[in-house]
Amino acid sequence: MCGIVGYVGKDNAKNIIIDGLKRLEYRGYDSAGIALIVNGGIRTFKKEGKIRNLECELNKLHLFSNIGIGHTRWATHGEPVDTNAHPHSDCSGKISIVHNGIIENYSELRKELISKGHRFESDTDTEVIAHLIEEELKNSPSFFPAFIKAVRKLKGSYAIAAITVYEADKIFVARKDSPLIIGIGNGENFVASDIPAFLSYTNRALPLDDLEVAIIGKDSFQVFDIKGNEKEKEPFTIPWSLAQAEKAGYKHFMLKEIYEQPRAIADTISGNLPWLKGSVPLEGINPKTFNRVQIVACGTSYHAGLIGKFYIENFSHLPVEVDLASEYRYRSPVVDEKTLVIAITQSGETADTLAAVKFAKKKGAKTLAVCNVIGSSVTRESDQVLYTYAGPEISVASTKAFTTQVVTLFMFSLWLGKMRNVLKDEKVEELLHELMELPSKVEDFLNGEKERGTVKEIAESFYKAKNALYIGRHVNYPIALEGALKLKEISYIHAEGYPAGEMKHGPIALIDETMPVVVVATKGSVYEKILSNIEEVKARKGKVIAVTNPECREVKEKVEAFIEVPEVNEFLSPIINIVPLQILAYHIADFLGYDVDQPRNLAKSVTVK
Ligand code: M6R
C-alpha cells in the first residue's frame, strides 16, 4: 500500500519524482522520501506526514540529479516516523532502496545480517533488502547479480526499486505480488506503482510480472526472470489522458468521479458490446463447461458482486456464491474445473482478490476478471478479462468503478443467459436498450442535483449524526451496504447497511429520534414491502431519508427527506440509486471538514493480505 516512483533521464529527477509521488499519494500517505544520486553520492530526504512536507524540505535546497527513487508510505512495519520512511540504505550508504509489500522473512534475515556486522537504523522490513544486497555484493562481480541474489532470498510480496553509486545511471527493480510498471519515454525512463505517476511524460508502459527484475537506464530497459535470463516484453500504449486523471475544477476527485459516471457507464457499455453482440469471442470462457459461479472481491467491489449474483442467477439460472476475497480461500470452498470464478477489482492489485484467483486456478476453475486497470496483476492472472471503462479512479472512496462494475456484470449475465439459452435474443435486446438509456438518466439526476442541491441540503441537516442505518431490499440491499460503506469510510460516522426485512430481527432496537435511516425505496417487486419497512422506522421515531422515484407519492408523504431519481428497470436501479448516496456521503464528509479523497487509515490499493 505504498507508492514507488523512479526516474532516470535528462531532467531534474527531484521534481519529476515529487510530482509522481503526489499522484500516488492515494496509495499511502503517512510519510514520504526520496533518494537522488548527486555528484557520485546518494542524498536521501525523508519526512513524516504528507508529501508536501517533504516537498517543502526539498524546496529549501538547490539540488540537481537526473536519477532517483521516491516513496510514499502506508506503514506496515514500524511507526510512520522519519526514520522508518523510505528510501532505506545499506551500511555504506552506497545503495538505496524503496519497497512496497511485506517481507515475511525479514526478521530471520535481519538477525543473520546483524550477526554479520550490519547496522540497522529503522524498524522496517524494507531495510533488510539494502543490507542483503550489500552482503551479496561481497561475492558478486557487479551490482545486478548481487541484486538478483538478494531478491531471490526474499519471501513475501515486493515491488522494489534500487539505485547505487556503483552504477549511477541505472535503476534496478523487482516485483512479486505488488505492482510495478516501467514508463518508457524519450531519452528518459520511469518506474512506478501506478501509471498516473508518469502519464504526463509518457503513455508507453510495460508492467512487470511476478518474479521479474529489470534494469532501467535513460535510453534502455532490460527485463529478466528471477534466474537472470533476459526476456522479450512489448510495451503497450496507455489509453487514458492525463486530464482524465486530474480534478478538472472539482473540489475533490471523489466529486469529479461521481460526476463522470454517465460517461464512464456509457464507455463501459460500448467497450463491452463487441463480445456481448458476438463480434469478439470471449475465448477464455466456455459457458457450457461450468455449473456454478463464485464471485470474489473486497469492499465496494464485493457489493458489486452481490448485485452480480442477482443478475447471473436471474438471467442464466446458474447458482452463484459471493465471497469476500479475504475469506474465500480459508473456508474450503467447493471449487473445481466446472466452476467459473469472477474476481471483481477496480485496481487489479488487491492482494486478497489476487490470492483468491490464484487459489481458484490451482483448483482448476476458470477465472474471469472484471477490472478497471489494464495490465494489472489480477488481469494477468485470469483466463479472461472484462474491463470497466471508468478511467483512472483516484479518490480512495470508489464510485465510478462501482457503477461500471455493475454494468459489466449486467452485460456478462445477459451474455451468459443468451449462451445458455435462458434468454431469447429479443429479451437481451430489450434489456440492453434499457441499459443504454441509463447514462442519460444518471446525467439528468446529476444535473438536477447541481441545480437544486437537494442531497447537499440533506447532508447539511444530518452531518452531525453519530450513527446511520441504511436499508434496502432485493437488488437494492447491496446498495444499502455500499451507501453505508461510503459514509463510514470518508465521514467516520458509524453506519450499517441492512436488508430492510431483517431490521425486525435486531437493528430495529437501534432506532429512535436521533437515528437517520436511509431507505432505498424505488419502484420494483418489493416496493410494497419497503413501504411497510418505512412505517416500522416511523413508528420508532426514526428519521427517514428516502431515495425514491418522482411517482412514489406514498414514500414522499411519509418521510423527513427524499431524493428523487428517475425510474429505471428494477435490475438496473442499483446503478442509479447509489449515485445520491455517494453524493450524500461526500457532502457529509466535506461539511465535517475531512480529507475526502484520502480518508484516514485507508489506501486506494490494498496490496497487503
Ligand atoms: O481495487 P479493488 O476494487 O480490488 O479494491 C477493493 C476495496 O479495497 C475497495 O473497494 C474499498 O472498499 C474502497 N475504499 C471502497 O470505497
The catalytically annotated residue of 22, 256, 309, 604 is 604
- Asked if the model's pLDDT at residue 34 lies above 90, the reply is yes
Q: What is the mean pLDDT of residues 472-486?
A: 98
User: Which residue's alpha carbon is at the smallest distance from atom 9 of ligand 1?
Assistant: 299
- Asked if the model's pLDDT at residue 215 lies above 80, the reply is yes
- Asked if the model's pLDDT at residue 74 lies above 80, the reply is no
Residue 277: per-residue pLDDT: 87
Give whole-number Cα distances, 228 to 148, 174, 359, in Å: 7, 11, 27
Closest CA to 582 of 470, 467, 439: 470
Residue 247: per-residue pLDDT: 73
pLDDT digits (tens, 9 = 90+) for 231-279: 999 999 987 777 666 676 788 999 999 999 998 999 899 889 989 988 7
Backbone phi, psi, residue 547, to 5°: -100, 120
- How confident is the prediction for the chain on average, in pLDDT? 93
The region of weakest confidence among 72-86, 142-156, 179-193 is 72-86
Q: Count CB atoms within 10 A of the CB of residue 97.
A: 28
Q: For strands 366-371 and 67-73, give the pairing.
A: unpaired
Residues sharing a CB contact under 8 Å with residue 455, sequence separation 6 or more, in sequence order:
449, 563, 580, 583, 584, 587
For 212-232, give one letter per residue: b (16+ CB within 10 A) or e: bbbbbebeebebbeeeeeeee
pLDDT digits (tens, 9 = 90+) for 36-59: 999 999 999 999 888 889 999 999
pLDDT digits (tens, 9 = 90+) for 357-375: 999 999 999 999 999 987 7
DSSP string across 162-182: EEEGGGTT-EEEEEEBS--EE
Which residue among 74, 177, 301, 347 has the greatest number of ligand 1 atoms within 8 angstroms of its CB, and so is best to mutate? 301
The catalytically annotated residue of 2, 298, 371, 552 is 2
pLDDT > 90: percent of the chain: 80
Q: Is 552 a catalytic residue?
A: no
Q: Which atom of ligand 1 is nearest to the CA of 486?
A: 16
Q: How far is Cα 311 from Cα 317, in angstroms, rounded to an integer?
A: 9
Whole-model pTM: value is 0.75
Closest CA to 349 of 23, 38, 3, 606: 606
366 contacts 340 by C-beta, under 8 angstroms: yes
- Asked if the model's pLDDT at residue 6 lies above 90, the reply is yes
Max Cα distance, the chain (Å): 81
Helix H or strand E segment including 104: none
Distance 604 CA to ligand 1 centre (A): 7
Q: Is 2 a catalytic residue?
A: yes
The region of weakest confidence among 232-241, 382-391, 425-434, 489-498 is 232-241
Q: What is the mean pLDDT of residues 158-182?
A: 95
- Asked if the model's pLDDT at residue 204 lies above 90, the reply is yes
Give whole-number Cα distances, 54 to 30, 50, 58, 122, 124, in Å: 11, 7, 6, 18, 20
C-alpha cell at 260: 463522470
195 contacts 202 by C-beta, under 8 angstroms: no
User: Is 304 in a helix, a strand, or coil?
Assistant: helix
The region of weakest confidence among 64-68, 165-169, 268-272, 469-473 is 268-272
**Which residues surround ligand 1 with Cβ inside 6 Å?**
298-301, 345-347, 350, 353, 396-398, 489, 602, 606
pLDDT digits (tens, 9 = 90+) for 94-120: 999 999 887 889 989 999 999 999 999
Residue 531: per-residue pLDDT: 96
Which residue among 345, 395, 398 has the greatest number of ligand 1 atoms within 8 angstroms of its CB, and so is best to mutate? 398
Q: How far is Cα 72 from Cα 335, in angstroms, rounded to an integer?
A: 38
Q: What is the mean pLDDT of residues 159-167?
A: 97
Distance 29 CA to ligand 1 centre (A): 17
pLDDT digits (tens, 9 = 90+) for 452-468: 999 999 999 999 999 99
The region of weakest confidence among 26-30, 109-113, 132-136, 557-561 is 26-30
Residue 248: per-residue pLDDT: 67
Residue 282: per-residue pLDDT: 86
Distance 251 CA to ligand 1 centre (A): 22
